[in-house]
């Protein structure tokens, strides 16, 4: 990441989160790395096997009870306080909140950023330049979603 870190009080905007926590990456090339996970709320798909339905299923969950609007400056401070060098942005589908993702990544210049996405939305050029690893999980027919909903052409 080439963009200099901003002081937390200079980072603007907010994100809608389901949760944030410190853990170890359990998959991919950074398996075993201590990191933080920032789980963004909302999703553009409704997969039958979803492991985080609280991020989008408002028929079963009350969004006011399972998600919070968090200032980006607060998230930047929280990540820095953990002393980690890696952050995983996940969801739901975090790409629905690209401005918040961009501001968060921009505020953490010395932290590697990994994004977990369903691959239905292209990142903005700025966001793409701030992300170190994209983990794209396309949804197949067993998701219960139509082909045109889950697979996007370029």
Q: Is the pLDDT of residue 104 over 80?
A: yes
pLDDT at 73: 92
Q: Do the domain assignments include residue 59?
A: yes
Whether the pLDDT of residue 8 is over 50: the answer is no
- The residue range of the domain holding 45 is 8-150
In angstroms, the Cα distances linking 147 to 27, 43, 120 are: 27, 16, 11
Average pLDDT over residues 79-91: 96
**Residue-wise DSSP of the chain:** --SPPPPGGG---EEEEEEEEEEE--SSTTTT-EEEEEEE---S---TT-S-GGGT-TTTS-HHHH-EEEEHHHHHHHHHHHT-SEEEEESS-GGGGHHHHHHHHHT-TTSEEEEEE-S-SPPPHHHHHH-SEEEE----GGGS--HHHH----
Do the domain assignments include residue 16?
Answer: yes
pLDDT tens track for 32-68: 999 999 999 999 888 888 889 998 899 999 999 999 9
The CATH number that applies at residue 135 is: 3.20.20.70
Residue 130 has pLDDT above 60, yes or no: yes
Task: Look at residue 3 and tell me if it is in a domain.
Answer: no
Q: Tell me, yes or no, whether 1 lies in a domain.
A: no
Note whether residue 2 is domain-resident. no
How far apart are the C-alpha atoms of 75 and 83, rounded to whole Å? 13
Total count of domains within the chain: 1
Residue 123 included in any domain: yes
Average pLDDT over residues 116-132: 95
Question: Is residue 2's pLDDT more than 50?
Answer: no
pTM for the model: 0.86
């Amino acid at each position: 990441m080439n963009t200099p870190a901003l002081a937390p009080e200079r980072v603007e905007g907010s994100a809608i989160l389901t949760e944030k926590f410190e853990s170890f990456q359990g998959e991919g090339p950074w398996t075993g790395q201590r990191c933080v996970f920032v789980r963004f709320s909302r999703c553009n798909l409704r997969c039958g096997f979803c492991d985080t339905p609280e991020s989008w299923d408002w028929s079963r969950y009350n969004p006011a009870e399972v998600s919070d609007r968090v200032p980006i400056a607060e998230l930047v401070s929280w990540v820095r306080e953990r002393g980690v060098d890696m952050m995983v942005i996940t969801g739901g589908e975090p790409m629905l909140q690209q401005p918040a993702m961009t501001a968060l990544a921009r505020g953490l210049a010395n932290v590697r950023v990994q994004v977990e996405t369903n691959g239905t939305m292209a990142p903005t050029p700025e966001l793409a330049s701030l992300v170190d690893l994209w983990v794209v999980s396309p949804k197949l027919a067993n998701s219960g979603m139509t082909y045109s909903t889950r697979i996007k052409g370029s």
